[in-house]
Structure 1
Amino acid sequence: MGDILIISNYYPPEKGAAANRIEQLALKLHQNNYKVTVLCPLGNYPKGELFPEYKGKFSVTEKLQNITVKRLWIYPSVSKNILKRTLSVLSFSSVLFFYLLTKKTPNKIVIQSPPLLLSFISVLVLSLMRKKIILNVSDLWPLAAIELKALKKDSFSHHISLYFEQFIYSRATVIFGQSNEIITHIHSIFPKKECYLYRNFPDHQLAEIDFKSNENEPIKLFYAGLLGVAQGVYELCQNIELQNLNIELHIFGDGAEKLQIEDLIQQNPQKKIIFHGMLERQLLHEKLQSFDIAIVPLKTRIYGSVPSKIFEYTALGYPILYFGGGEGENIVREFNLGWVANVGNFGSLNSRLTEISGIGKSRIQTLKRQVFEVSEKQFNLDFQIKNLINKGVF
């Protein structure tokens, strides 16, 4: 079917939705007879420091599950300081700029956005080379940065970001949007741009699941993912009220809020929150087999954002307690995937938890099977990829 290059700021063994999303895309393209190469930074996320196997190296080429992965130098940082974060992205973008200018690349390129600077540099160079650019937009920047208060509206940085955003949309051949809201936003700027909905579906390849439950244990609610500003897990831990409920909250992950969360749990054992740290994906899934419900929070409603955890955990048979608003809320409601609490409203969240505590574990087991069946039928990655291939997108 030909060669495809994927440019991304994240790739396994890094953790998180972005790395998983790009890996799934690469593997599915390979399974459909494409020769896939991924261009990304040396592994460093989410800790913000180079993994031991990449320290002291400028570039590394690996073969992972038949995917050629070329990693280039980066100054890693996950600092909340926007200047340090920008420097980190700029460091990789600069190396990437010279790589694209001097190395032979395929005619078809998939570019992940955000980071906006990275996608701008990639689109700038590759559009001059008349490559077919498939832009994969997973979040709307700078709009999301404004909503998260990471960027000040009408600032110099905001106007630069708006220029980058419009440039990459205008020069892309085809655009994938992770949500209908993303596509609507892009069409509001470029009405005739060719866009396709591309959800972040997982590929667990499970024909059935052995649902485990112990009626004598509390209902096990869990969060598994990055502990960053956008997710608001620290604020969740501060405001969640489980003391008088038959529920306990388990947290798996790593990120900027990790130490705050650990301190809060240590000082407030009555809150019934257990922190497990970061686990490898396969180990995490094994650990979660006896758990009951996945909570998916966002600190604020972010236009265009649909957390991949909705698809990740319904594919494993977990009902969702969704606390993020927007299109994700609509998906949970439309497909009867669990419960919705109003984003940012902890009174609403705690009311939902009281409701869940009262229904009992046997009812949750039935709901788990229903959610798994819906996910198998509605959130199918193979069908999504083959549909795009048949339309000639790749």
Structure 2
Amino acid sequence: MKDIFIITSYYPPETGAASNRIFQLADGLCKQGYNVTVVTPLPNYPTGRIFKDYKGKLIRTSVENNITVHRLWIYASNSKNKVLRLLAMLSYGISLLSFYTFKKIPKIVIVQSPPLLVAFTSVLFLNKRNRKLILNVSDLWPKAGLDLGAFKKNFSYKVLEKIERFNYKNAHLVLGQSKEILSHVKSIFPNKQTFLYRNYPEFPIPEIPKTAAPAKKIKIVYAGLLGVAQGILKLCENLEYDRIEFHIYGAGAEENQITRFVKENKELPVYYHGEFQRKELHKELISYDLALIPLLNRIYGSVPSKIFEYAMLGLPLVYFGGGEGERIIKTYQLGWVAQEGNYASLNSVLKSIELKDVGYDVKSKIRLTAIKHFNFSEQLLALEAKI
């Protein structure tokens, strides 16, 4: 049985795409016969506070689903203050260095990036110790930060670019969730070994309900992080509600503002339902007609994992983010595309959709497409051949 370490900043019981993605990878490798160990901070995302059951701990080790999980101390913060965010990353980096010093590390290590500095800490320390390093890149930092307006092209940005290059250079294999990520890596290191590792889901698929009677309005849902990049508050302010209802699930930086908007605009059919665990969320989602996947700004390299998860649930999609995600929607005929950043285009697309366009037959077809093309098990077997 091969031993393998996964180093990540996000892991259940934290919610969201990042923790789901890493758990699925760990669980898949475990089921394939690997002895999997996950190293992660004490859970704190997205609240920026250590979860109640983990407070007062420097390290907590447990076995969960046959996976050994080491949870390390972190100075938790989701503050917009860059110094505090940097301190949080550095604190986890220090915990990692201490862990590496006193623990036996197997030959194969998968390192999640971003956070860029956390990945750098692992690559810097483990590269000198003859380990096979696999870098799992889910977003292109620092470029994504530039696209989001969080960074400027200054000295600090150049330092982060050098760190990024160091990570790619010293990884034996780079996994990328999008073709754009792999193209970026290859533009820097043409001979680097890469592998397209999409965020395909694997979960028990609930049955698609057959609507008893036609509704008066199309019920649209968004579920996920309520952060700046998603721009859900701006969506609430710019959607035209004459033919739609808008339902929101999740948590994040905009949560309070969205809650306030809903309370102050009771005449609008917009509803905030809070945060659900993934299994319960799926039961909720299949009752909707349509799922909306927005990005406030086009982020090069980003492909929201919601595309694959919603498609597996049979939900028709409206994609509002441009780039590779848009191409996937069109290629696999998963729904509609609105011009990125153009709310007039989005409202026009939504007005064009009829209830018959989001019925049972359409949903069944989308699900069959997802099962055929977004197969997690087949992808994992292909990855194993690379490991």
Task: Give me the TM-score of the superposition, normalised by structure 1.
Answer: 0.96
- Give 1:288 shift: 2.1
What is the SS of the residue equivalent to 2:267?
Answer: helix
Contact kept, 8 Å, 1:6 with 1:111, in 2: the verdict is: yes
CA distance in 2, matches of 1:363, 1:290: 11
Structure 1 counterpart of 2:378, from 375, 379, 383: 383
Could you say which residue in structure 2 is the equivalent of 1:157? Answer: 156
CA distance in 2, matches of 1:181, 1:41: 29
What is the SS of the residue equivalent to 1:129?
Answer: coil
How is 1:268-307 mapped onto 2 (pairs within 5 angstroms)?
268-307=265-304
CA distance in 2, matches of 1:362, 1:143: 37
Could you say which residue in structure 2 is the equivalent of 1:239? Answer: 238
What is the SS of the residue equivalent to 1:77?
Answer: coil
- Give 1:233 shift: 0.9
- Give 1:205 shift: 3.9
Could you say which residue in structure 1 is the equivalent of 2:314? Answer: 317
CA distance in 2, matches of 1:84, 1:228: 18
Letter in 1 for 2:195: Y
Could you say which residue in structure 1 is the equivalent of 2:226? Answer: 227
What is the SS of the residue equivalent to 2:222?
Answer: strand
Could you say which residue in structure 2 is the equivalent of 1:116? Answer: 116
What is the SS of the residue equivalent to 2:313?
Answer: coil
Does structure 1 residue 63 correspond to structure 2 residue 63?
A: yes
Could you say which residue in structure 1 is the equivalent of 2:86? Answer: 86
Letter in 1 for 2:160: S
Does structure 1 residue 360 correspond to structure 2 residue 355?
A: yes
Contact kept, 8 Å, 1:227 with 1:253, in 2: the verdict is: yes
What is the SS of the residue equivalent to 1:68?
Answer: strand
Does structure 1 residue 342 correspond to structure 2 residue 324?
A: no
Could you say which residue in structure 2 is the equivalent of 1:20? Answer: 20
Contact kept, 8 Å, 2:329 with 2:337, in 1: the verdict is: yes
Contact kept, 8 Å, 1:212 with 1:290, in 2: the verdict is: no
The 10-residue stretch of structure 1 (376-385 or 285-294) with the greater mean CA deviation from structure 2: 285-294
How is 1:118-197 mapped onto 2 (pairs within 5 angstroms)?
118-153=118-153, 155-197=154-196
CA distance in 2, matches of 1:237, 1:200: 27
Q: For each residue in 1:323-371, what CA deviation from the matched residue of structure 2 results, as whole angstroms up to 9, or x when unmatched?
A: 0110000000000000101111000000011012xx1157532211111
What is the SS of the residue equivalent to 1:224?
Answer: strand
CA distance in 1, matches of 2:359, 2:324: 24
Could you say which residue in structure 1 is the equivalent of 2:215? Answer: 216
CA distance in 2, matches of 1:337, 1:13: 30
What is the SS of the residue equivalent to 1:270?
Answer: coil
Letter in 1 for 2:366: V
How is 1:25-36 mapped onto 2 (pairs within 5 angstroms)?
25-36=25-36
Alpha-carbon RMSD: 1.2
What is the SS of the residue equivalent to 1:339?
Answer: strand
CA distance in 1, matches of 2:216, 2:207: 20
- Give 1:217 shift: 5.1
Contact kept, 8 Å, 1:253 with 1:278, in 2: the verdict is: yes
- Give 1:178 shift: 0.4
Does structure 1 residue 308 correspond to structure 2 residue 305?
A: yes
Letter in 1 for 2:215: N
Instruction: Sort the Cα spacing of 1:361 and 1:263 in 2 relative to 1 into closer, same or farther, 3 A.
Output: farther
CA distance in 1, matches of 2:366, 2:9: 32
The 10-residue stretch of structure 1 (81-90 or 53-62) with the greater mean CA deviation from structure 2: 81-90
Contact kept, 8 Å, 1:241 with 1:350, in 2: the verdict is: yes
- Give 1:195 shift: 0.2
Instruction: Sort the Cα spacing of 1:362 and 1:241 in 2 relative to 1 into closer, same or farther, 3 A.
Output: closer
Which consecutive unaligned segments of at least 5 residues does structure 1 have? Answer: none
The 10-residue stretch of structure 1 (174-183 or 362-371) with the greater mean CA deviation from structure 2: 362-371
Letter in 1 for 2:162: Y
Which consecutive unaligned segments of at least 5 residues does structure 2 have? Answer: none
What is the SS of the residue equivalent to 2:273?
Answer: strand
Contact kept, 8 Å, 2:208 with 2:314, in 1: the verdict is: no
Contact kept, 8 Å, 2:248 with 2:274, in 1: the verdict is: yes
Structure 1 counterpart of 2:365, from 361, 370, 374: 370
CA distance in 2, matches of 1:35, 1:362: 46
Does structure 1 residue 251 correspond to structure 2 residue 245?
A: no
Letter in 2 for 1:152: K
Contact kept, 8 Å, 1:297 with 1:324, in 2: the verdict is: yes
Instruction: Sort the Cα spacing of 1:78 and 1:361 in 2 relative to 1 into closer, same or farther, 3 A.
Output: farther
